[in-house]
Structure formats: C-alpha cells, structure tokens
Structure 1
Amino acid sequence: MELLEKDEEYIISLLKQGKKVEAIIFVKDKKGMTLKEAKEYVDKKINNVNNECYEENISISKEDEEYISSLINENKKLQAVAFLHKNKNMTLLEARNYVNKLSLYKEKDMSDSNNYSINLDINNNSKFKENKQRKGYIFDKNLNNFVPYLARQKKTNKVIFYILLILVVISLIQLPFLDRTLYNQIFFLFSLAFIIPLFVIWIAVALNIYFTEKKLKGLEEFELTNEFEVKSLRKNFTVFFNILFFSFLIFVLYIQIKILLKHFSYKGLFSSTVLLVAMIYNFYVFFKELKNREYSLNINGKNIGILYKNNEINLIKMNSIDCVKFYSKKLGKGRKESNPTMQIFDKEQKILVEMTISIKDYYLLKKHFIKYDVKVADNFIIF
C-alpha cells in the first residue's frame, strides 16, 4: 500500500522531532510491512531529511560557521548543536544534522592536508626503524634521540688502557737487555709499534667520552620555558666557501668564454654552459643561505612570531601548524651537516620558515612542539 502525501509529511514531522520509533510503527501499520522493512524505509527517509535540512537556506553568518567549525575541531559537537538550537531556532534534529554534515565536509577538506603529515610520520617511523639497530648507540627517551653507548666505550677504553700498561711495562723490562741480542731489539720495537697507536686511540676515545658527557649534561640542564627566542645559525665558513667557489667559477667562465671567442668549438660551448649552470646554482644556494640566516623565532606559548632581520613578518598559532620537520642537510659523499635544519609547514603544506639551528634550540623546539601536540618528523640524529 502506497503512502499518501499527508502520510509522508506526518512521517517527516515525526523524524524532525526525533521520534524514529513512532515513525517506524506508523509505516509498519500503514504499509503492512515487517519491522525490518519499515526500519529500512524510515532510514532512507532520514537520509533524505538530512540532505534537505543541510541544503536549506539557513541564515548562518560566516563568524557563526567558523565558531561551529572550531567546536567540531575540538570534538564539542553537542555544544555546536545546542548553539544552533538556541540561537538559530532549529530543532534538535535539524541542528544535529547540520553539525554532522558540516563535520563530514570538514573531514573531507582536512584529509588531503593530512596526507603530507602522514607521509612525514611514515618516513619518520621508517627512519626510526632504520636506526633502531645502530651499533654503539642507545635510544635516550628523555632526549628522544640516539646517544652513544658510553658505558661500553668506557669498558673498551679501560681494556685499551690495561693493554697499553702491560706493553709499557714489558718495554721497560726490555730496556736493560737491548744490546744483548737482535731478538730483544726486535721485540722492543714490536712493542713500541703497538704502544704509540694504542696510546693515540686511548686518548681519542677518552676525549670523545668527555665531550659527549659534557654535551649530554648541557642538554639535560636546558629547561623548557613558555617564552624563548631561536636564531638561525650563522655559518660564516659556509658563506665564505660559497663566495670563494663562486669567484672561482666566474674566473674559469671568463677564461672559457675568452678561449671560445678565439677558437669556437661545440666542446668549449658545452663546457661554458655547464659552468654557467653551476654558477647559477651556486648563486641560488648562496642567496638562500644568506636569506635563511636572517630568520629568527619568538616563542610565546602557543604563539610563534617569525622575524626576518628582526622585523616580525608573520604570527602563527600552534593549531595552524601541520607539521615540523628536523633533518640534516646533505653535504655529499655520505656526509651530513652536524647542525639540524628545521622546516615549519602550514595546513596547506607550505613552508612557513626554514632555519638551520643549534643543537640547544633543536632540543628546546622539539620539546615545545611535542608539548602542544604538534606533529614532529624528526630525521636528525644528534651524535
């Protein structure tokens, strides 16, 4: 039996009042359906009502929508429903449907922007797994990084010291007998050949342990505060090297062009082109290095002021940051910089700032971002 138009309107009115059970019973009695069939019919009707409710021209200002969105982001959907019910004269069902629809749209919009963070997290986890088996290192939970296994180094150095001591004693015992036989002289020289490199190794390991302990102690003494300043690391040697290299390329290019004008050849043209490309790339790296060293950050709780040449150019909040990445720049031949480079990404995956910072600032910034639940992709290894 088909329902009349007035019956459809009555069912919709029941659904808008949140009386789903009454609507199912009404459909069951009117159409002679089973309870399961009546429930399926009402569920379809609810979906239609939801779509109609969302598509209605409800007068909601941009400010109100932003406020509702903020409540949804904070998982306060009930407060959002109450706000619409009280201030926009919606029924509870209409308010709930509006919030649910808006929540779905927000989740869809955010899914793409979260892909980048997910990829970074995956890369970070891969990096962690890759370095989990680093020989001679242990993972420090306080620093959230790998540190040298100093206890093992101390034991190794102690063994080296005892071997060195035994060899020195043997050599001293042999001194009175050096002139007697060639065998004693050879044995003495053999002992001496071991003493010198072992002594150098012992000193090197001892110094490494000392400076590592000093570095770890310094990091542990740093206290995280709500307000602090971070400045870019000014690598004067790198800038000086770039200037020298750039000057050398200009000189070589000048000579190459001079030769090319006198004796044209495709080989000379190719060499000049390669030199020109190398010079342009070097200039780009040099300019970027100069620009990045002028950045600094003013941290004040959830607010971060980005400064360029001591002038604030941007103020960002923690909830507007998608991800923060720490990594070491590659120097070629498997070498990496000893200081970390930091990149801060917004929700649209744009780099807000890129800075090379000190180990101290890296440690403080990482703890600060983790404190405010900002996603951190850490590919930097301190030691």
Structure 2
Amino acid sequence: MNIVVVRVERIVDTLFIVVVMLLMMAAYVGMGCAVELSVVKEVLKKPVPPFIGFCSQYFIMPLTAFGLVRIFNLSGGIGLGFFASGCAPGGGASNMYTYMLGGDTSLSVTMTVVSTLTALAMFPAWLYALRYFIPGVEGTTFKIPYYNILASLATMVIPLTIGILIRLKRPQLACSIKKALRPFFAFIIIFLFTVGIWSNIYLVYLFSAKLFLAACILSYSGFLLGGFFAFICRLPLARIIAVAIETGVQNTGLPILLLKFSLMQPEADMSVVSPVSVAMFMPVPLWIAIAVLEVRKCVNKKKQTDPKEPLDLLVGDQRLTNDGGEELNDELDELAINRDPINNRSTKLEYSENGNVPKIVIDSDNDLKPSEKHEGDI
C-alpha cells in the first residue's frame, strides 16, 4: 500500500511571500532614486551590454543547466525545476548585489526589465524545446506562469518609476533615500537568508550532494561566463560586474510557480528543492565579495583619518605642530587673520570643500571680502 503525504499550505508561507514582495517593491523605489536616465538612454541606444547579458542568460545558462541535468542524472520534477531555473530571467536581487558591489546599477536595472519582458517568449521556448530530453517529464503538460511574469514585471516597473520621479522632482529626498540603500539592502539579504531558510526548512532534508554541486556550478559558471564575455567586449569594470551578476542571479520564483502549476502534489512540493537550492547557494560568493569590500573600505577609511607622521605647519608667526591630527585641526579652526607686515597682506586658513585640505586665502587690501580673495591650496 502506497501512502502519500501532502503538505498543507501554512500562513507563514503566504506571509513570507507578501513581506518579500513589499520589501522588493521598496527596494525598487530606492533603486529608481539611484538610476541615471542618461545611462539608460545610452544603453538603449548602444545595447551591447544588454545583448551580452541576454545571450549569456538565455543561451549559455539554459544549455549549462541542461548539461548538468544530464551529467548528474536529475530526473522528474527535480530535473525539470533545475532546468527551469537555468531558463529563468534575472532576479531582483541582482540589482541589490550590483549596487552593493559597485556595479552599474542603471545597467543592471535595465537588463532585469529587458530579461523579464523577454522571458514571456524565451522561458517557455526552452522548456518546450528540451522537455523530452529530461527523464521523467516527457508527458507533463506545462502551465507557464505568464500572469506571474507580468506581475513580476509590474511590481518592478511601477516602483522604479516612482523612484525615478522622486529623483527628478525631489532630488534632496532621493539623495536621502540613496544613503539608506546599503543598510536596507543588507537587511533584505539577511532576511531572505534567515527567514527564507526557516520557512522552507522541510526542503533542507531533501538536499543531496549532487544537487548541491549542480546548483553551485550553475550559478558560479553564470558569474564567470557573464563577466568573461563582458570583459572580452572591453566593457568598463562597473558594467562587467553588472553583466556577471545579472547572468548568475536567476529569478527562481518562476520555476517554483511552474512546478506548483504543472505537477501534482506532493511531487510539486518535493521538486521545489531544485530552484530553492539554486537560490540558497547562488549568492554565497557575492556575500564574500561584499564582506571583503566592506572590510577594505573600513581599512582605507582608518588610514585616511590616522596620519602616519606628525605635521608641522608655520602660519605667520605661529608654529602649529600635531602628533595626532585632531589637535592641529582645532588650532587651525581657531586661527584668526594673520598680518604680514613686510608684504602688507593678510592670510587666513580655511578648508576646501572636501573638508580635509586647508587652503590659504590672501587679500592685499586686508579686507578679505569674498569677491577680492585669492585662494590657493597648501
């Protein structure tokens, strides 16, 4: 006698999806504030980077996924879910990772919108073309989630448009939002990793060594190949980062919906382990890169704030010395106008716009009016 256990949908599953959707919409508003329309226009006029990303995403990734399905003998719903993950468009997380790693955010957002739009044709085309070569799914009738693809596009484009309008109409507000993007993106990434695993903990027990290895190879080869093709096309570093991340980060939500709509329970729930494994292991090298980048920023910032040797500065008849850095700044701030009796001129120390390099303001008439100043950096 065969016993079939069907998992009941929980409130936490629905709540997790709703919260993630709201967080991503808020993130897209922020990214809209960071998008430069001039870059978007340039990309659309000369679409070399999007073309590289399109070819990498919709030709290299599906073929790589199909090859891994055959090599690791992933059959049935698990093989279908894995192959569908390789055919999926770029995910919204790619824009966040691109921003945090110093890539071209405007290009990344443009590529995500284009890849999601073209997914209406490319996603089903690959599934129907190679479904007969995936063991165990020959007779499966696919239900392509067209509505969900369009909904994903809408939840991306509408918040982006709002963010762009904020940037155009309220630049100060847009600037404030941009300052909060990095910590907000970090919060989303941590939330997805922790709460996401907790809400799908039952899938962890279905992981296998070959599925883990296949998921890592698929995503990491996407990063490497996308970046390689962008490099040989001589794109700048920021765009190489954007293309590489856009290629390797997949919207695994579409394969999950495909499995839920096309397969019967409990096979549908069990097959979801493929796209979930891809989603879990995909960002690991990106997390490492972000951590290294943040540590390096902190080290560089510390080097800039801590002078390596004492400073000795002669201003007028006063000699200012410094052993730490802050004392000299305090003395310079308190310094009044110094009179030079020989050349009959006055000098005053001020700071340049970056606040670090002092400059001498010279006035022959001892008036020191802004219109009569002659300035020069020390």
Shorter-chain TM-score bucket reads under 0.3
- Whichever of the two has the greater Rg, that structure is 1
TM-score, normalised with respect to structure 2:
0.23
TM-score, normalised with respect to structure 1:
0.23
Tell me which of the two structures has the higher relative contact order, counting C-alpha pairs closer than 8 angstroms and 6 or more residues apart.
Answer: 2
